[in-house]
Each structure stands twice: as C-alpha cells, then as structure tokens.
C-alpha cells in the first residue's frame, strides 16, 4: 500500500450522472454537533435517504458502535452497514474521499482533501479519517494526497472539464491560507481534470460551510445549471449569493465553449415547514443526488414548491426516475441530501 501524494497519473472527476458502483453515507451520533430529538430525527432521515438510494444502487453506510444495531435493523437489503468508530457527523460529502478516474476509465482512486471541520469551526471528532478509510475500502490503496483543504460540497463538475464553486468556500484563509486562486486552480486541475473554472462569490460566515455550491448552483448536465432561488416569502440569508451566481453564470460558457442554460428552482417557504421558526435554514432542492437510473431530490413540506421542484427535475431528467425524500432535521442543522452522500464512480 503506497501513499499516492506523488502520483503523476492523470485523473478526472466524472459527472455525477455517470454510472456508480455505490454511494457512501454516514450515520451521526452523540459526538456530532447536535443531540436529543434533532439528532434522532437526523438519524432517521439518513436511513430514509439510504433506503431510497438503495433502490437504485448499493449503499455503504458508515456507523459507529453507538448506532450500529439500530441502523442494521432498519436499512434496505442493498445497504451495507460498515462499522467505523471514527464516524461522528453525517456530512460525508465534505469529509469523505472524492473519487476520480483514470483517462481510460479503468482505475478509480480517492482523494483526501484534508478535511479541517469547515475551517476549524468544529472540534475534530474522527470524521477526518473517513477519507482514508473510504478510499481504501473501494480501491485497496491510500487516497491521493494534496496540500489543498476543501470539501466535496464546495465543488461541482460537469465531467467535461468545467468546475463550479464559490470562492468563499475554497479561496479562503481558514481553508487555504497563503494560496492564491491560481495556485488552487493548478492543483484542482491536476486532481480533477478541470480545464475551466467558474467562480461565484458565495458568502463568508453566513453558515458553517461559507456557502457550499451544492446548495446554490449545480450542473444537471453539461451546459445546464440549476440555481437555488430564495423563496419570495421568506428569502433567508442567501439572496446576495443567488443574485451573484445568476449574474456571473447568465453569460458564462463551459469548458467546451457552450453557453450555460440556467434553470431556477425556488426554495420552499420556510413559514410552511415544521419546526422552523424563521427562514434561517438550508432548504435547497438543488441539493439533489443523481443515482443509477434515477435522481433523488428533496421534499420539505411546502406542497406547492415540492411539486414545482418535482416537475422541474422530471423535465431536466426525462430518462430517469425522480424520487422525492422528505427531510426536516437536515435543513435545520445546515444541509441536505447531497451533503450527506458521496458517489463512487464505476470503473469502465
């Protein structure tokens, strides 16, 4: 087993819509940032999401001993529960490995992006080890090394050389102090096969992640981007980030020179959601996951907006089955479905 930090092989991150061999998730426990009924509800939602994904592809679910027996009794037969005592939080998109493929598609490797708990906003609790554990589980080797600190939720690619992110979450002194944007781009190009960078402003300090792009703007296919439009009734904290993203992307082109087509997806009215006192939550339909033959999107409890989102994604993915999963706890603690998952591309 060798450390791949000096690996010179050429890699690229495929689009999320390409075939998966499986998806990773993690069950939070009492060492995470939340407890009581909120933690219990988040655990239930993780199991519901895992079971929905398992209808389409294998699901590998990390669990500590604290939750192991309960989880094993509730999951779909296509879910493999993996004991890893390092498991604490549920946000495996951020602390798990990011998987890339070789140019011929025959080799898959994980990358360890040196998770530092969102710029040291939380105390280390073990999750930083899951990039190594997850990569070894899939590939049998240590993950590719890098000096960059980044989270998967802060980056999106179209699989054809275009990278989308908010500067606030990557070109950031609590993540990559002293590194210029050009230096960061050079390393991301090496690791992800990126040829063109589309940078949004994002917003520093508005949430733990400094505005991850996977709840703001996502590629649904090459040349098509879906934007999370704040609710007119209760717009919340991210109006400036949305307006900036729209202004920057409306005339943008991708790595292949195609103009981007933008699709707005309006967020739910937080006043219609259970257990929400104000608009200060992350409730974004853009936080979806493409799976083999399907797309898993969210339902929040605003029936009108939930239906609008379903219709939009059915239009955007006419050849896939679109499934909605209800969540309430995850938006209240800062994320959604995409944040809680990490796909593993299939080798060719």
What residues act catalytically? Answer: 339
Structure-token pair, residue 280: 């200060």
Contacts 24+ apart (CB under 8 A), 32-40: 32/88, 32/89, 32/90, 32/125, 33/89, 33/122, 33/333, 34/333, 38/329, 38/332, 38/333
Whole-angstrom distance, CA of residue 8 vs CA of residue 19: 25
Residue 162: HSE in the Cβ half-sphere, 13 Å Cα cutoff: 24
> Which residues have a Cβ under 8 Å from the Cβ of 239 and sit 6 or more positions away?
230
Which residues have C-beta within 8 Å of that of residue 348, sequence separation ≥ 6? 101, 104, 105, 106
Q: How far apart are CA 46 and CA 329, in angstroms?
A: 10
Residue 328 CB contacts under 8 Å (≥ 6 apart), including other chains: 41, 45, 273, 274, 275, 300, 301
């Amino acid at each position: 087993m060798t450390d791949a930090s000096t690996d010179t092989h050429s890699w690229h991150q495929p689009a999320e819509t390409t075939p998966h061999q499986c998806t990773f998730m993690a069950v939070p426990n009492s060492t995470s940032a939340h407890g009581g009924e909120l933690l219990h509800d988040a655990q239930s939602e993780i199991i519901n999401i895992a079971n929905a994904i398992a209808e389409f592809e294998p699901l590998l679910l990390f669990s500590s001993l604290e939750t192991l027996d309960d989880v094993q009794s509730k999951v779909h037969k296509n879910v493999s529960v993996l004991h890893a005592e390092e498991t604490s939080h549920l946000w495996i998109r951020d602390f798990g490995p990011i998987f890339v493929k070789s140019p011929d598609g025959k080799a898959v490797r994980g990358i360890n992006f040196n998770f530092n708990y969102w710029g040291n906003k939380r105390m280390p609790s073990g999750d930083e080890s899951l990039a190594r554990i997850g990569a070894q589980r899939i590939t049998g080797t240590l993950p590719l090394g890098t000096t960059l600190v980044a989270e998967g939720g802060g980056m999106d690619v179209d699989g054809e050389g275009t990278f989308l992110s908010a500067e606030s979450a990557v070109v950031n002194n609590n993540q990559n102090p002293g590194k210029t944007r050009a230096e960061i781009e050079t390393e991301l190009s090496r690791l992800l096969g990126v040829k063109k960078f589309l940078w949004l402003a994002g917003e520093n300090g508005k949430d733990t992640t400094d505005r991850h792009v996977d709840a703001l703007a996502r590629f649904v296919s090459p040349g098509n981007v879906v934007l999370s439009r704040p609710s007119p009734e209760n717009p919340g904290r991210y109006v400036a980030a949305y307006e900036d993203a729209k202004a920057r992307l409306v005339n943008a082109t991708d790595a292949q020179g195609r103009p981007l087509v933008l699709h707005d997806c309006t967020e739910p009215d937080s006043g219609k959601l259970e257990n929400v006192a104000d608009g200060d939550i992350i409730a974004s339909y853009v936080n979806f996951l493409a799976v083999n033959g399907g797309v898993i999107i969210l339902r929040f409890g605003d029936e009108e907006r939930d239906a609008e989102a379903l219709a939009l994604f059915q239009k955007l993915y006419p050849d896939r089955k679109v499934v909605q999963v209800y969540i309430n706890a995850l938006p209240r603690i800062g994320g959604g479905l995409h944040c809680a998952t990490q796909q593993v591309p299939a080798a060719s």
